[in-house]
Amino acid sequence: MPKVRYLKIRFSNPLMPYEVPCFRSAVIEATQRQSTLFHNHAVEKGFLYRYPLIQYKITERKASLVCLGPGTDDIHYLLQNRQLELRIGERTEPFEIEDIQLRYHNVQLWQARFQYALKNWMALNQQNYKQYVELESEVQRLEFLENLLKANLLSFAGGIDWYVEQPLEVRITRLKSTRWLRFKGRKVLCFTLNFTTNVSLPDYVGLGKGVSVGFGSVKGFGRMRAKKDDHPKSEPSAHK
């Protein structure tokens, strides 16, 4: 159960969701690619399949960065720019830090459950999307999504070098919406929902695919005693 270094930087610059990839590209160029943690690409190895330790976000409608572990060290490649100017689409503007939070977060299993909101979670790939839509009931679909969410949590654990020895519990308590969003030139199905788990997670870390550009952002909103939850009543789905 690691104590993870957590750094959240919010700039004063407003950002639209479709501009997050531009923000990411601009930051990568500003660091002159001195650390692969900003982009997860290596010259010889190509794409590095690992959990992103530097993630590009929108928090409070502003451009933001979330860094974990070694990412909190390598952020100096960006912050060493005394006058940081980034090109976002057709505009270039100075970026100034509005808020910065640095702390250690205890990521561990508890007997209590924590409640989280999960926004624009990209849970499905081509193969499991077909499995998902072929399921006959909403209960089956929720169980299917819960298993994927558990796998995503284990992937996050692996990314911060945490070997989970005890059972990890996940329950979706409310499926708020599903919608198609654009990602790398194609439309993908994304879920916004509430869930409970016995894992303590830092705010704004990402789960699922597209984590580095803001998909699957987690935000905690409470803690409850461990108990057996009923399956939620799902709301109308966009994929029907």
Give the pLDDT confidence score for residue 95 in this predicted structure. Answer: 97
Residues 101 and 179 in one domain: no
For residue 233, is pLDDT > 50? no
* 202 confidence band (pLDDT: 50, 70, 90): very high
Mean pLDDT of 145-165: 94
Question: Which amino acid is located at 99 in the chain?
Answer: D
- Report pLDDT for 41: 58
Question: At 121, is the pLDDT very low, low, confident or very high (cuts 50, 70, 90)?
Answer: very high
Does one domain contain both 70 and 127? no
Q: Out of 90, 105, 120, pick the residue that ends a domain.
A: 105
Q: What is the DSSP letter of 17?
A: G
Alpha-helix runs per DSSP H in the chain = 20-30, 70-74, 76-79, 126-134, 138-159
Domain that holds residue 22: 3-105
Q: Are residues 118 and 207 in the same domain?
A: yes
- Cβ neighbours around 236 below 10 Å, total: 8
Whether residues 117 and 220 fall in one domain: yes
Tell whether pTM > 0.85. Answer: yes
51 and 95 co-located in one domain: yes
Are residues 54 and 153 both part of a single domain? Answer: no
Would you say 52 and 210 are in contact if contact means Cβ atoms under 8 Å apart? no
Q: Is the pLDDT of residue 155 over 60?
A: yes
pLDDT beyond 50 at 138: yes
Taking 60 as the threshold, does the pLDDT of residue 46 lie above it?
no
Cα 171 from Cα 84, distance rounded (Å): 42
234 found inside a domain = no
CATH of the domain at 189: 3.30.70
The total domain count for the chain is: 2
Query: Tell me, what's the pLDDT at 185?
Result: 87
Does residue 177 lie in a domain region?
yes
My answer on whether 121 and 157 are in the same domain is yes
Rg over CA atoms, the chain: 18
**Residue 133 sits in the same domain as residue 218:** yes
Ordered alpha helix ranges (H), 65-224: 70-74, 76-79, 126-134, 138-159
Per the rule left: phi > 0, alpha: psi between -120 and 50, beta: everything else, 61 is left
Both 145 and 44 in one domain: the answer is no
Contact in structure between 25 and 114 (CB atoms under 8 Å) = no
Same domain, 30 and 59: yes
> How many CB atoms neighbour CB 59 within 10 A?
20
Phi and psi for 153 in degrees, rounded to 5? -65, -40
What's the pLDDT at 48? 57
Q: Residue written as tokens 């070997």?
A: 163
Domain boundary among 105, 128, 157: 105
Q: Report if residue 97 sits inside a domain.
A: yes
Q: Quick one: pLDDT at residue 75?
A: 95
Residues 75 and 114 in one domain: no
**Residues of the chain above pLDDT 90, percent:** 77
Same domain, yes or no, for 83 and 14? yes
Q: Is the pLDDT of residue 235 over 60?
A: no
